[in-house]
Amino acid sequence: MTAILELKKIHKSFEVGTVNENHVLKGIDLTIEKEEFVTIIGGNGAGKSTLLNSVAGTYAVDEGAVFLDGKNATHKRTNDRAKDIGRVFQDTKMGTATRLTIEENLAVAFKRGKKRGLSLGVKDKQREVFKEQLKLLELGLESRLKMEVGLLSGGQRQALTLLMATIVPPKLLLLDEHTAALDPKTSQMVLKLTDKIVQEKKLTALMITHNMEDAIKHGTRLIMLHNGKIVVDVSGEEKNKLSVPDLLALFQKNSGDTVTEDALLLS
Ligand SMILES: Nc1ncnc2c1ncn2[C@@H]1O[C@H](COP(=O)(O)OP(=O)(O)OP(=O)(O)O)[C@@H](O)[C@H]1O
Ligand SMILES: [Mg+2]
């Protein structure tokens, strides 16, 4: 079986040759199989977003290789990778167009990977698909297709963004703290929705979170980044029975660092 994502010894540094030179990813090896749902944790500046940006092509890696669905994507531009990748960011305003209606936003998302132009016309048949998909969210948006997206709440908007990122199921879904800007209750709603969409659409996903409990509770595999390396990688039963103290102990054992400081960073 071909892995959906293979990172082979990738390195990424910023501000090379200056006093601020920062070696952020230090030879990351990572293989993600189809339908794996990986949660990623790590302190501020650990390189989590840099890792996702390297997968999406936003950043070119300095060394190593990125394989997407068995094909070498290392030198492919973001646009060329975009047909295989769905992304949702922390900022609830990033994934949707404020002045367009719900159905117009979905129509734009529906064209991903297809070579036709960006016409906003929505056909009746498409509208039925959108309604069905919106029902998945259980937010009643299926009866508000003509509403401007700018009028939605942050949580509704993020749920819609999630749907847009997956309405044409991507080979890989990248979520970068997509619930961090939401209040705790809305955050849990969007996380539940994420589980549902990933399961129903049989997606392969990488999800960054700052919350260790969420990282344990969601997904099929958990990865912790520290000092540019993967220091924890657990899946299956081992992940299911993990507690936050277990995770901190694993981190301490594998990284050799004291837990107190990073426990704060990860809280
Ligand atoms: N475009 C860039 N130019 C310069 N430095 C960068 C750039 N992007 C990231 N960095 C640096 O790389 C390091 C890792 O950043 P990254 O955003 O990947 O961390 P993170 O783990 O996502 O952190 P957070 O939890 O705060 O989101 C940081 O020191 C950051 O300042
Ligand atoms: Mg980040």
| Per-residue model confidence (pLDDT) at position 113 | 62
Burial (Cβ within 10 Å: 0-12, 13-18, ≥19) of residue 67:
middle
Query: 54 CB under 6 A from ligand 1?
Result: no
| Per-residue model confidence (pLDDT) at position 267 | 47
Sign of CA dihedral 255, 29, 179, 246: negative
Query: 10 CB under 6 A from ligand 1?
Result: no
Cα-to-centroid distance, 225 and ligand 2 (Å): 11
| Per-residue model confidence (pLDDT) at position 264 | 45
Query: 16 CB under 6 A from ligand 1?
Result: no
Give me the residues paired with residue 234 across strands.
222
Q: Which domain holds residue 241?
A: 5-266
Query: 44 CB under 6 A from ligand 1?
Result: yes
Check which CATH number belongs to the domain holding 185 and give it: 3.40.50.300
Burial (Cβ within 10 Å: 0-12, 13-18, ≥19) of residue 176:
buried
For the chain, what is the domain count?
Answer: 1
Note whether 160 and 149 are within 8 A (CB).
Answer: yes
Residue nearest to atom 18 of ligand 1 (CA): 47
pLDDT along the chain (267 residues), means of 10: 94 96 97 98 94 97 97 95 94 92 94 64 87 94 96 95 96 97 94 96 97 95 95 95 92 79 50
Q: What is the rounded radius of gyration, in angstroms, for the C-alpha atoms of the chain?
A: 19
Ramachandran angles phi, psi of 214, nearest 5°: -65, -40
Note whether 170 and 68 are within 8 A (CB).
Answer: no
| Per-residue model confidence (pLDDT) at position 257 | 79
Task: For 102-116, give the DSSP string.
Answer: HHHHHHHHHTTT--S
Cα-to-centroid distance, 218 and ligand 2 (Å): 19
Q: Where are the alpha helices (DSSP H) in 168-243?
A: 184-200, 212-217, 236-240
Task: For 229-261, give the DSSP string.
Answer: EEEEEEEHHHHHT--HHHHHHHHHHHH---HHH
